[in-house]
Structures are given as C-alpha cells and as structure tokens.
Structure 1
Amino acid sequence: MSTEQHQTAPAVRETRGRWRRWRRARPFTAAVLIALGGAEMLATLRAPLGVLLHIGPQGLAAYLVPTILVICGVLLITTPQQRVFYAVISLVLGLVSWLTSNLGGFLVGMLLALIGGALAFAWTPDKDHPPTGAATKPASDEDEDEHEDAADTVLLPGMQSPDPSPVDRG
C-alpha cells in the first residue's frame, strides 16, 4: 500500500463517522420513505395509463397530496424536532392518497408513506450521546458516587430523602 492510501483512510473514516452521527440525529429512514412514497404517487399521476383517476377541480388534490408528502419527508430531515407533526400529517395524507392519487400510487406510494410516517412517529433522539458540537463536562469520581447513591434510593410521595450520615440511636 502506498502512503497516500494510508493518509486518506482516516479522512474517509472521519467523514463516514460524521455522516453516521448526522443521519442518526434525525429520522432519516422515515423521511426517505415518506419522500419516496410521495414521489411514487407523483410518478403514477404522470403515467400514460387509461386508469388514472382525477377527482376535484382538474385533479388538484391528486397533485397536492403527494407534493405535501415529499415536503414532509424533506422537513423531517431538516427539522427533526417537529417529527410528530410531520409524522401525523404523513399518516393522514398517506390514507387520503387512496382516494385522491390513483389508489395511493397503486398501493406502493401509500404503503411507503404509511410505513415512513409510523417510523417517524416512533423515532426518538439518542439521549446517551449529545448532538455534535455540544460541550460535555467530564464527570469526576465524586459526581459518579453521588449519582449511584441517588439511583439506589427510591422515594415515595411524602417521604424525605435519607440523611447520608449515619445516625446513632443508642
């Protein structure tokens, strides 16, 4: 192996690591499925088939529903904090597409949108690892001991926390 390959390997690993952290910080798979479902519905609307349905004035709903699904997929990637709202919108529009967009893009687009919406609704951010760029304070041994002692004690409503020093009751 040449020295050039050895020098690029850490850069590639670092890039892959950043991509992996970025992707895991948002409902990426759900967003891609929702956007693909909307795109598939739009593609079936443009297909030269004689079985296409157009309901409403000039089939506006047939184009509006999949377009909003694609937008919801993009917004899930860019603003994962609003994932519940976009997930609910995607689920509702996925069901509405059955009526408006050629049986939900001949079932394929509707199923993609529904699966993506369910995944987006179920997705939660990783609480163990802070987002990239967040400053973390290293925990000292004393902090860990205090947290371990607090975790062992269970308090019911109306109870006082136990005194850490032993009491002589003699």
Structure 2
Amino acid sequence: MASFRHWRAVRPFWGGLLLTLGGAEILLTEKASLKVVMHIGMQGLAGYLLPLLMVICGLLILFNPAQRLFYSILGVLASLGTWLTSNLGGFLIGLLLGVVGSCLTFGWLPDQEPRPARSWRRRVRRGHREPAAQP
C-alpha cells in the first residue's frame, strides 16, 4: 500500500483519473451502434474518437506524467469537443469530469523545494521596506 501511495504522490493522479472516467462515461452513454456510425460518416465517428482520446490522454497522464501539460491541453480540447459530438458531452457529466481532470493536471506541480513563506505585510508591519532601485 505504501508503494501505491508513493506512486500516486509523484504524478497528477486525480486529474488523470477524472479525465479517464469522463471519457469512459461518454463512451458508455453512446447510443448509436458502430454500424450506424460508419454509415453516418465522420461526424458520427468523432462521437467515438473524442472520448477515446480522453481515455488515452488520462491513462498517459497517469503513466507518463512528464508530458502532462500536452496531454491535459489535448484532454480539455477533446472534452469540450464532445459537447457537439457525443450527447452533449455524456449528458454534461463526462464533459465536466474531463475538463476538471484536465485542469487539475495542468495545475499540478511535482515536488519542489519548499520556499520560505515571506509575507510583504509582515515586513511592512515590522517597518522593513525594500530598498528603492538605484538607476
């Protein structure tokens, strides 16, 4: 269990999971069979391709977090595209899961050295002011 916690801590786990779940939910709410989709053409095929792209991006975020920014941008674009192609984005549930997951991934930062919290208000209260820049 400790190894899973460590694995989860070094990657944007919740963002990737939400993006994957959003794509899976949209795929599960598709009503048209693949025969009908192939008959309709490219518009119908996009209803399956965009949620599939969401699932792939979510899994890539989980297993290759080094490229998380690219995958999160692709994921949010695919999520927003499902509004038009897949039953209003899986009846809004899949769309919202995909967008929130992509945003969580985009904002995630790997562990960094902690910076000391220095508040400018504390310095002003104590009477410390930054020196003026000299030309």
Pairwise same-fold verdict (TM > 0.5): yes
SS in 1 for 2:11: coil
**Which has the higher relative contact order, 1 or 2, with Cα contacts under 8 A spaced 6 or more apart?**
2
Structure having the larger proportion of residues in helix: 2
Query: Is the Cα–Cα contact under 8 Å of residues 32 and 116 in structure 1 kept in the other structure?
Result: yes
CA separation of 1:55 and 1:114: change in aligned 2, threshold 3 A? farther
Q: Give the TM-score normalised by structure 1.
A: 0.60
1:80 to 59, 65, 70: 65
1:45 to 27, 30, 33: 30
Residue 33, structure 1, aligned to residue 18, structure 2: yes
Distance, in Å, in 1 between the alignment partners of 2:42 and 2:66 is 35
Please tell me the residue identity of whatever aligns with 2:112: K
Say how many residue pairs are matched. 110
Query: RMSD value over aligned CA atoms?
Result: 2.3
SS in 2 for 1:124: coil
1:57 deviates by: 3.1
Query: Is the Cα–Cα contact under 8 Å of residues 55 and 62 in structure 1 kept in the other structure?
Result: no
1:105 to 90, 95, 120: 90
Query: Is the Cα–Cα contact under 8 Å of residues 82 and 89 in structure 2 kept in the other structure?
Result: yes
Please tell me the residue identity of whatever aligns with 2:49: L
Residue 115, structure 1, aligned to residue 90, structure 2: no
Percent identity reads: 50
Distance, in Å, in 1 between the alignment partners of 2:40 and 2:13 is 32
CA separation of 1:19 and 1:35: change in aligned 2, threshold 3 A? same
1:59 deviates by: 1.0
2:2 to 9, 17, 22: 17
For residues 19-57 of structure 1, the C-alpha deviation after alignment (integer angstroms, 9 at most, x for no partner) is: 111101011111110000000000010479xxxxx9743
